[in-house]
Each structure stands twice: as structure tokens, then as C-alpha cells.
């Protein structure tokens, strides 16, 4: 099976950045990225909803699904495919109670114990575990390593995506730990748009799934 790949959006500052980001979202979707998490914590609800709606238009006709980070209200109003909850966000079962059929719900966890508690609360489709490796986006942060990732994957039946320090060379280690896939900002943000298809193929191959 191919890994589940998740593009997490970098912070943007204005309309110019938004246009560039939307182009990259569309290209990533066409390249085979499965999930695109719109993560703009400093953006107000109105502009965020507009960004999500434009992102949905860019992935139309592909298999990519748009998730909104934390903002359940924006995700529902914009018609997003789902939401990604922080560790301290509202319970997934409460979101499930008000969400439409097929709505995707993920949650961030940082230990096997958190993963088990999140699963026990119900309503989740997947978990994101991190920070696994040292990453530029969180300088100085304590990272868990592949062993803790493996413990978390073994602790729950839910699919677990690894986040933090995701690069092509570490994906084989992530796969060996039992993760269902990976989530990343820099991995998908650094290459030119026209290189995203090759990147996804390389990531699949490094994960042990073929091109």
C-alpha cells in the first residue's frame, strides 16, 4: 500500500502568498498527495474560509481531501472534507455529532498514552504523531524518535501519520515503525511546483510502496 501523504500549509502573509499556495495545493493534489491540511492559525475566520473554499476548487477532480486545522466552524461552513484537531481541541466525538457523513477527523498526539485516550474518546479517523525527528519548523523542540513512533503505532488500531523532520531519507524508518504515512510542511514546500509529482513518487518508493 502507498503511504498516506499530508501536506501541511506554511504560514502565508497576503494575497500574493495565498495565490502561490493555492497553485501548490492544486499541483500537490494532481501529484497524488492525499490530505492537505490548511493550517493558518493567525488568519481570521472569514479569510480562512475563503482560502479553504479556493483550495477545495483547486483539488476538485482529484483524490485529495482538504482538512482545516482546528477550526471546526470554518471547516463546516466552507464544506471542507474534514478537520485536524490539536491535542487540546474539542473532543472528536463532539465534532462527529455535528459533521456530515464522510467528514474526516484527525488529531495530533505526542505519546502512546495520548493516542489511546484519543481513540477511547471516539470519533477519529486517524492520528498524527510528532514531533518525530528534529525539524526546522520547531527549532529546539524535543523530538520523540522512531521508537516512540513505533510504540504509538502499536498502541492503537487507528492509522498514525508521522510528522516532524520528514525527509525522503527517513521515510523508510517511518514505514518500519508502522506508520500509515507522513505529514509535512517543508518537504512539500521546498521543491518547485513542477517537481511535486517526482517528489511524491520518490516518497512512495522510500516508504517501500513503489512509484
Residue ranges per structural domain of the chain? 4-206
pLDDT in tens, 176-208: 999 999 999 999 998 999 999 999 999 999 987
DSSP letter string over 14-45?
SHHHHHHHHHHHHHHHHHT--EEEE--TTS-H
The reported pLDDT for the residue numbered 142 is 78
3-state secondary structure of 46: helix
Q: Residue 134: pLDDT band by 50, 70, 90 thresholds?
A: confident
pLDDT tens for 140-179 read 677 899 999 999 999 999 999 999 999 999 999 999 999 9
Which one, of 136, 135, 132, lies nearest residue 181 by Cα? 132
Band of pLDDT at residue 72, cut at 50, 70 and 90? very high
Distance CA 16, CA 98 (A): 34
Contact, 89 vs 107, CB < 8 A?
yes
Is residue 61 pLDDT above 80, yes or no?
yes
Query: β-strand 65-69 against 35-38: which pairing, if any?
Result: parallel
Strand partners, 38: 68
Integer Cα distance of 36 and 210 in angstroms: 22
Provide the whole-model pTM.
Answer: 0.95
Which of 1.10.1130.10, 3.40.50.620, 3.30.390.50, 3.20.20.70 is the CATH number of 4-206?
A: 3.20.20.70
Strand-pairing partners, residue 108, are 128
**CA proximity to 7, closest of 15, 174, 24, 83:** 24
Q: d(Cα 22, Cα 12) in Å, to the nearest integer?
A: 11
Amino acid at each position: 500500500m502507498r503511504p498516506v501523504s499530508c501536506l501541511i500549509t506554511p504560514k502565508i502573509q497576503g494575497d500574493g502568498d495565498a495565490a502561490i499556495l493555492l497553485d501548490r495545493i492544486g499541483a500537490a493534489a494532481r501529484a497524488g498527495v492525499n490530505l492537505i491540511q490548511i493550517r493558518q492559525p493567525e488568519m481570521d475566520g472569514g479569510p480562512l474560509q475563503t482560502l479553504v473554499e479556493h483550495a477545495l476548487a483547486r483539488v476538485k477532480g482529484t483524490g485529495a481531501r482538504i482538512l482545516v486545522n482546528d477550526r471546526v466552524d470554518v471547516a463546516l461552513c466552507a464544506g471542507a472534507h474534514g478537520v485536524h484537531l490539536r491535542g487540546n481541541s474539542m473532543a472528536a466525538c463532539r465534532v462527529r455529532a455535528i459533521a456530515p457523513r464522510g467528514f474526516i477527523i484527525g488529531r495530533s498526539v505526542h505519546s502512546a498514552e495520548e493516542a489511546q485516550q484519543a481513540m477511547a474518546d471516539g470519533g477519529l479517523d486517524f492520528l498524527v504523531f510528532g514531533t518525530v525527528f528534529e525539524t526546522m519548523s520547531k527549532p529546539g523542540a524535543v523530538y520523540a524518535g522512531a521508537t516512540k513512533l513505533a510504540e504509538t503505532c502499536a498502541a492503537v488500531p487507528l492509522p498514525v501519520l508521522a510528522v516532524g523532520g520528514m525527509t525522503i531519507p527517513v521515510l523508510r524508518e517511518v514505514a518500519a515503525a508502522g506508520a500509515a504515512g507522513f505529514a509535512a510542511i517543508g518537504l512539500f514546500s521546498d521543491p518547485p511546483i513542477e517537481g511535486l509529482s517526482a517528489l511524491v513518487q520518490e516518497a512512495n518508493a522510500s516508504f517501500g510502496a513503489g512509484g
